[in-house]
């Protein structure tokens, strides 16, 4: 986990006549690749930007928001291919946001005046680490990011149960440690610009998410932390959502990373024969949106059409035209490839679209789940309705093409009313399915984790010939050969602890994902 980011780019050349060759030697004998100081503001910004990404081919395909015929990009669609690429998420984490946030914490620790900056860094650390441990299980945690500070280049793996306990503790302590009289990160904080009450709500909302993750593995611990999070105060309103706002500019780093990735991979040329990587919206998603008369369909999906062979293609959002491509079927572009729906270029594919890091919709749906479990005294139905409404309204933040009228939202809620008299599982299915829809293309990490924890929605797996999961939807990502070779002793110890030499496969489960 070496530091790749703090490099002095200046090269000192001193060639002065009449000066002895050893004068100034001590100043020259400095490693030009070593960091001389850490700027926590810059590194927090960088850590936040580095965190704003996910692999839509794997996660979006596995959760059947996307379909893909290209065998080279079909890991999530068909569960095949070279799985070494999956380690990219793991490896990029430890040389980007994982390392960066550790450096921020080191640079602001031990100074009482920087308590707010430390609190933000601790909260963000929990945010970035929980996603990686949820993808892989046991990971380096306590010793991670300590290459430059402690010369630990082969960190030990921590148990996921221990990681969760520590993340919850960190969120609790950080949320309570804020001091309104002390300075904040201000504009260097891309999420909340140093707004302390909003950071506290984000911390407790993340606590609520992590606590609910334990609902099957440790119900008592889950309940305790769920109640603590709710008492602390979670995100309820859209104005408190954690977002990063991007701009249209030519600099790729200024663009929404999901839009940039999708445009670069598939959608920069309307109605291309194969979309380069062969991706379309899935039949599962489009059918669900049409069957439930979900108004998000018209904000999310388009079909490219033209009036005649000589006119330009136009993105059409008409409901009747929308059609999803079947997952796990094609190994070449089907004859009707051009009739399938794609992401809307006027919402999802806008370079200046916001990136949602935590939505009010998710918080409200988590409160609805807490209510049906008896862990929250509020109304499950009210929380459900707020969550659904927020999940539809948030499309308006993508721009005018995403704005959905209130009467359409009201009609949708009436047609898909909360099953107040239903069984626990019927209610859980409704809540989890709304997360599957509401976080589509927004937070596929959370969609994947919610599906693994609850089993909803009941997705039908694909069974493409030669797949690597026995025709079942993957339940984790695999750690690739680079880590296995460079940190083999600790890697093997972690795999042995989690289930033996064959643990590192798609079908094994992380600690909290019990049957």
Round to whole Å and give the CA distance between 193 and 185.
7
Give the pLDDT band of residue 1 (cuts 50, 70, 90). Answer: very low
Pairing of strands 157-158, 66-68: unpaired
Determine what percent of the chain is predicted with pLDDT higher than 70.
92
- pLDDT of amino acid 22: 44
- pLDDT of amino acid 269: 84
Q: What is the mean pLDDT of residues 148-153?
A: 91
* Nearest Cα residue to 340 out of 358, 326, 361: 326
What sign does the dihedral 231-242-368-130 (CA atoms) show?
Answer: negative
- Within the chain, what is the greatest distance between any pair of CA atoms? 93
- Surface-to-core class of residue 10, CB atoms within 10 Å of its CB (0-12 exposed, 13-18 middle, 19+ buried): exposed
Give the pLDDT band of residue 25 (cuts 50, 70, 90). Answer: very low
Q: Is the pLDDT of residue 228 over 80?
A: yes
- pLDDT of amino acid 39: 94
Average pLDDT for the chain: 90
- pLDDT of amino acid 82: 66
What sign does the dihedral 362-368-373-375 (CA atoms) show?
Answer: positive
Q: What is the mean pLDDT of residues 78-90?
A: 79
| pLDDT tens digits for range 451-487 | 999 999 999 999 999 899 999 999 999 999 899 999 9
Q: Is the pLDDT of residue 24 over 80?
A: no
The full set of domain ranges for the chain reads 252-343
Q: Helix (H, G, I), strand (E, B), or coil: what is residue 162?
A: helix
* Nearest Cα residue to 397 out of 189, 281, 245: 245
- pLDDT of amino acid 11: 27
> Between residues 230 and 277, which one has the greater pLDDT?
230
Q: Is the pLDDT of residue 18 over 70?
A: no
| pLDDT tens digits for range 330-360 | 888 899 999 999 999 999 999 999 999 999 9
**Three-state SS across 259-314?**
HHHHHHHHHCCCCCCCCCCCEEEEHHHHHHHHHCCCCHHHHHEEEEECCCCCCCCE
Tokens 């550790």 sit at which residue? 102
Round to whole Å and give the CA distance between 170 and 325.
43
Q: Is the pLDDT of residue 191 over 90?
A: yes
Could you tell me which residues come within 8 angstroms of residue 275 by beta carbon, excluding any fewer than 6 positions away? 266, 267, 337, 342
- pLDDT of amino acid 15: 28
What sign does the dihedral 104-109-113-117 (CA atoms) show?
Answer: positive
- pLDDT of amino acid 405: 98
Q: Is the pLDDT of residue 489 over 60?
A: yes
Tokens 């459900």 sit at which residue? 384
- pLDDT of amino acid 38: 82
Q: What is the mean pLDDT of residues 205-229?
A: 98
Give the pLDDT band of residue 140 (cuts 50, 70, 90). Answer: very high
- pLDDT of amino acid 265: 82
Give the pLDDT band of residue 17 (cuts 50, 70, 90). Answer: very low
Q: Is the pLDDT of residue 513 over 90?
A: yes
Q: Is the pLDDT of residue 188 over 80?
A: yes
Q: Is the pLDDT of residue 394 over 90?
A: yes
One-character DSSP codes across 330-344 = -SS--TTGGGS-EE-
- pLDDT of amino acid 261: 87
Give the pLDDT band of residue 32 (cuts 50, 70, 90). Answer: low
Helices and strands (H and E) in the chain: how many: 21, 9
| pLDDT tens digits for range 422-437 | 999 999 999 999 999 9
Q: Which two tokens stand for residue 259?
A: 């839009």
Q: Is the pLDDT of residue 35 over 60?
A: no
Least confident of 58-67, 168-177, 198-207, 389-398: 58-67
- pLDDT of amino acid 9: 30
Give the pLDDT band of residue 87 (cuts 50, 70, 90). Answer: confident
| H-only helix segments in 137-213 | 147-150, 160-177, 196-213
- pLDDT of amino acid 73: 73
| pLDDT tens digits for range 237-279 | 999 999 999 998 778 888 999 999 889 888 988 777 778 788 9
């Amino acid at each position: 986990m070496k530091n790749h980011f703090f490099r002095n780019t200046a090269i000192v050349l001193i060639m002065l006549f009449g000066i002895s060759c050893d004068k100034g030697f001590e100043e020259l004998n400095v490693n030009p690749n070593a960091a001389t100081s850490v700027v926590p503001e810059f590194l927090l910004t960088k850590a936040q930007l580095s965190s704003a990404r996910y692999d839509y081919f794997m996660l979006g395909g596995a959760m059947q928001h996307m379909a893909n015929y290209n065998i080279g990009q079909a890991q999530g669609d068909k569960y095949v291919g070279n799985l070494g690429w999956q380690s990219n998420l793991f490896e990029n984490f430890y040389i980007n946001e994982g390392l960066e946030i550790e450096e921020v914490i080191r640079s602001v620790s031990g100074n009482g005046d920087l308590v707010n900056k430390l609190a933000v860094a601790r909260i963000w650390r929990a945010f970035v680490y929980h996603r990686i441990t949820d993808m892989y299980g046991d990971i380096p945690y306590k010793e991670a990011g300590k290459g430059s500070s402690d010369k630990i280049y082969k960190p030990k793996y921590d148990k996921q149960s221990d990681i969760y306990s520590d993340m919850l503790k960190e969120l609790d302590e950080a949320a309570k440690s804020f001091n309104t009289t002390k300075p904040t990160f201000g504009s260097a904080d891309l999420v909340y610009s140093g707004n302390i009450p909003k950071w506290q709500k984000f911390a407790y909302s993340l606590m609520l998410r992590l606590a609910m993750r334990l609902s099957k593995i440790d119900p008592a611990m889950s309940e305790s932390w769920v109640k603590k999070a709710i008492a602390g105060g979670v995100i309820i309103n859209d104005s408190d959502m954690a977002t990063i706002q991007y701009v249209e500019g030519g600099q790729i780093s200024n663009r929404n990373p999901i839009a940039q990735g999708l445009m670069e991979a598939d959608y920069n040329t309307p109605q291309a024969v194969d979309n380069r990587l062969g991706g379309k919206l899935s039949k599962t998603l489009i059918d669900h949106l049409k069957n439930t008369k979900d108004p998000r369909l018209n904000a999310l999906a388009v079909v490219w059409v033209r009036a005649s062979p000589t006119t330009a293609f136009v993105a059409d959002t008409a409901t009747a035209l929308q059609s999803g491509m079947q997952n796990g079927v094609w190994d070449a572009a089907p004859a009707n490839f051009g009739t399938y729906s794609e992401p809307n270029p006027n919402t999802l594919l806008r370079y200046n679209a916001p990136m949602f890091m935590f939505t009010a919709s998710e918080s409200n749906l988590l409160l609805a789940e807490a209510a049906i479990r008896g862990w929250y005294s509020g109304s499950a139905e009210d929380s459900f309705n707020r969550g659904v409404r927020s999940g539809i309204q948030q499309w308006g933040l993508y721009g005018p093409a995403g704005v959905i009228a209130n009467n359409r939202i009201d009609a949708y809620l009436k047609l898909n009313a909360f099953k107040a008299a239903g069984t626990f599982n019927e209610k859980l299915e409704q809540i989890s399915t709304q997360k599957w829809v509401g976080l589509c293309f927004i937070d596929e990490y959370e969609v994947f984790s919610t599906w693994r924890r609850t089993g909803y929605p009941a997705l039908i797996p694909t069974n493409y010939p030669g797949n690597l999961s026995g025709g079942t939807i993957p339940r984790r990502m695999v750690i690739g050969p680079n880590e296995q070779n460079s940190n083999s002793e600790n890697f093997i110890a972690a795999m042995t602890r989690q289930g033996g030499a064959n643990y590192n496969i798609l079908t094994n489960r992380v600690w909290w994902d019990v049957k």
